[in-house]
Amino acid sequence: MERNYLSLDQIVTKVYHSRPSWNDKKVFLKELTFEILQRIGYKFSLTRPTPVEKLRILLGLDLTFSADLSGDAHSTKKEGGWEIAITSDQVYSDGSQQWLTERGRFSLAHEIAHFILHYIEEELTEIASTLRLSEENAEQLCDLISSELLLPSGPLERASLNDIPALGAGKPLHRESFLLSIRLLENLRKSLNVSRMALIYKLDHTHILDEAECGIIISAFGVNRSTGRSPALRILKASIPSWGFMPENARVSTIGLESAVHAFNVLKYGETKQWKERLRVSERPGMNIGNKWSPRMLDTWGEHALYRFTARQTYLMTTFKWSKNQ
Ligand SMILES: [Zn+2]
């Protein structure tokens, strides 16, 4: 089998020379990843997943499934080739074809990222050393590349609420009463075939949340990064409109989200519950007043849903309305 169907060499060089210099290698890797996807015919859409399996084939990488690997996946450099192994529980068959699960897509994207980094380091040594690709933690860079392979952040930031399936074709939205609901978010992540966490993280400060005038809070117990375990329910991640600020790691009680603790205790996995409360938030009052935040009490409402994060950890997802002018 011919090794390189896709000329990675040419794509990396082109993206590298598209700017006089790169202050941030992460920006370079994001642009490179999106360019690679475009080269294999991908057009950004909120209605279908990125073609990571096609990319693997066009890069000439082998894929095997194995019941016993030490982790979820790993790569082996072979004579004239590159083999990716993924555990067999990350693939399923519909009778005629094999499909990767959402976790399988993540594992594959991560291993493709290892290949891309390895390729630049081996074949494009000058670019690799100017960008200092080998100095940093390779795992972090691979996570960045794989997250971009699964959901490119550039086009996602520019996407509109109307691009969300089931919304675009519908009647005009009543902004005041519209909520980016748990059900909508679930449909969206299924269309994109990405994990719930990956989607929520990437929605932060996007045009979609601005237009929807909605926010999403992920909270969990025991995530205090400075003191270790915590008996309080804390904000793990808040993805909110661009005019807002919500401190990560804060106790949910400090913003007034009292209903969260109750929801955490009574909800079953995947079950949704509505709430109505007064939240304490921070808002940028105007475009020209710099980056100063001013406090605001938000009379608002939304939904809670409980999900499993790992076998041992559970998190609460909260959606809510955050209109700039109420
Ligand atoms: Zn890795």
First-to-last C-alpha distance (Å) of the chain: 62
pLDDT of residue 129: 93
pLDDT of residue 176: 72
Sheet with 294-308, side-by-side order of all strands:
233-239, 214-221, 314-321, 294-308, 272-283, 244-245
pLDDT of residue 170: 54
C-alpha distances in Å from residue 267, one per residue of 180, 193, 236, 255, 277:
20, 25, 19, 21, 18
Cα-to-centroid distance, 111 and ligand 1 (Å) = 6
Cα-to-centroid distance, 114 and ligand 1 (Å) = 6
Cα-to-centroid distance, 86 and ligand 1 (Å) = 12
Q: Please name the amino acid found at residue 158.
A: R
Cα-to-centroid distance, 163 and ligand 1 (Å) = 33
Can you tell me the distance from the alpha carbon of 122 to that of 234, in angstroms, rounded to the nearest whole number? 44
Q: Please name the amino acid found at residue 62.
A: D
Cα-to-centroid distance, 58 and ligand 1 (Å) = 21
User: Does residue 326 register a pLDDT over 80?
Assistant: no
pLDDT in tens, 270-280: 899 999 999 99
User: Does residue 162 register a pLDDT over 90?
Assistant: no
Q: Which of 162-166, 174-178, 299-303 has the lowest mean pLDDT?
A: 174-178
State percent of the chain over pLDDT 90.
Answer: 75
User: Does residue 4 register a pLDDT over 90?
Assistant: no
User: Does residue 288 register a pLDDT over 60?
Assistant: no
> When comparing pLDDT for 1 and 243, which is higher?
243
Residue 237 and residue 226 in contact, taking contact as beta carbons nearer than 8 Å:
no
pLDDT of residue 1: 45
> In degrees, to the nearest 5, what angle opens at C-alpha 109 toward C-alphas 107 and 110?
65
Q: What is the mean pLDDT of residues 259-277?
A: 95
Q: What are phi and psi of 292, to 5 degrees?
A: -75, 140
Tokens at 9, concatenated: 């060499």
Can you tell me the distance from the alpha carbon of 148 to that of 42, in angstroms, rounded to the nearest whole number? 13
Can you tell me the distance from the alpha carbon of 290 to that of 279, in angstroms, rounded to the nearest whole number? 24
State percent of the chain over pLDDT 70.
Answer: 91
Cα-to-centroid distance, 141 and ligand 1 (Å) = 9
User: Does residue 21 register a pLDDT over 70?
Assistant: yes
Cα-to-centroid distance, 113 and ligand 1 (Å) = 8
pLDDT of residue 168: 55
Residue 220 and residue 313 in contact, taking contact as beta carbons nearer than 8 Å:
yes
Residue 164 and residue 199 in contact, taking contact as beta carbons nearer than 8 Å:
no
Length of the chain in terms of residues written: 326
Q: What is the mean pLDDT of residues 260-273?
A: 94
pLDDT in tens, 50-94: 999 999 999 999 999 999 888 999 999 988 889 999 999 999 999
pLDDT of residue 2: 47
> Residue 15: CA atoms inside 13 Å, Cβ hemisphere, count?
24
Residue 251 and residue 234 in contact, taking contact as beta carbons nearer than 8 Å:
yes
C-alpha distances in Å from residue 118, one per residue of 12, 76, 80, 111, 114:
13, 11, 14, 11, 6
267 DSSP 8-state letter:
P
Q: What is the CA radius of gyration of the chain?
A: 22
pLDDT of residue 50: 97
> Mean pLDDT: which of 79-93, 161-175, 276-290 is highest?
79-93
Report the 3 state secondary structure along 93-149: ECCCCEEECHHHHHHHHHHHHHHHHHHHHHHCHHHHHHCCCCCCCHHHHHHHHHHHH
Cα-to-centroid distance, 133 and ligand 1 (Å) = 15
